Amino acid sequence: MTTLELEARLDNLLATAQEETANIDLFAPINVAEREECPICLIPLPIEEEENVFFPCCGKRLCTGCTLRSINDIIKNGTPKLQALVEQKCAFCRLPSMRNNNYTKPLKKQMKKKNPYAFLAMAQRYQDGEGVFQSYTKSLEMYIRSAELGNAEGFSMIGYYYMNGVLVEQDDSKALAFYEVSAKKGSVGAHKYLAKMETFKQVLSI
């Protein structure tokens, strides 16, 4: 994809998402009751995305509480902590899914099923070069796919690429527009980032 095609795709994604979220109040409290539940404890998943764990085996997100409980169960059987992390099975479907060498394969399966969290996880792996060759191009492509599937965090990460001018021309206003869509779609990280930027702006104008 050429830079022009990439920017056109991103402009189109932003315009559609802005239209979709036009009636959402950026400052309205996040509705916890409407959030997806952890399939084990049935409590709404934490609003901070980093407190949820995505398992590519079944494509489910679990709360850290349920994930840690399953590791602790292995430790209780006498397995050392480090070994328990390696042996860990998905707390929901019981498949071994956290091992580095078999993480990419189930992830690709979930991507075929159009699971937005699988694209997000794959994007992070490409960004960090974890289990795959490091590639910002592939990473951004995966973030775009996840955002196209409606994922709030995907929009935030595109904002990050614009803010830092990675693969796209640095553009503060486009970056903030992507963060705003992300916040309206429920990303707590995007809300915090926008608040921080607003504070900077006010401090600088004093």
What residues line the site for Zn ion (CB under 5 A)? 38, 40-41, 55, 57-58, 63, 66, 90, 92-93
Does residue 135 contact residue 167 with C-beta atoms inside 8 Å? no
DSSP string, 45-104: PPSSGGGEEEETTTTEEEEHHHHHHHHHHHHHTT--HHHHHHH-B-TTT--B---GGGTH
Kindly tell me which of 41 and 168 has the beta carbon lying closer to Zn ion. 41
Q: How far is the CB of 27 from Zn ion (least distance, A)?
A: 29
Nearer to Zn ion, 15 or 43 (CB): 43
| Nearest residue to 171 (alpha-carbon basis) of 3, 23, 1 | 3
- Name which of 61 and 125 has its Cβ closer to Zn ion: 61
**60-63 and 52-55 strand pairing:** antiparallel
Residue type, position 104, single letter: T
CB nearer to Zn ion: give 13 or 120: 120
Query: Which residue's CB is nearer to Zn ion, number 55 or number 103?
Result: 55
The least CB distance from residue 103 to Zn ion, in Å, is 12
Q: Are 175 and 181 in contact (CB under 8 A)?
A: no
Please say whether the beta carbons of 23 and 181 come within 8 A. no
- Tell me, what amino acid is at 92? F
| Residue 46 Cβ vs Zn ion, minimum distance, rounded to whole Å | 9
CA distance 123 to 131: 12
State the nearest-atom distance from the C-beta of 37 to Zn ion, in Å.
Answer: 8
Closest distance between Zn ion and the C-beta of residue 4, in Å? 41
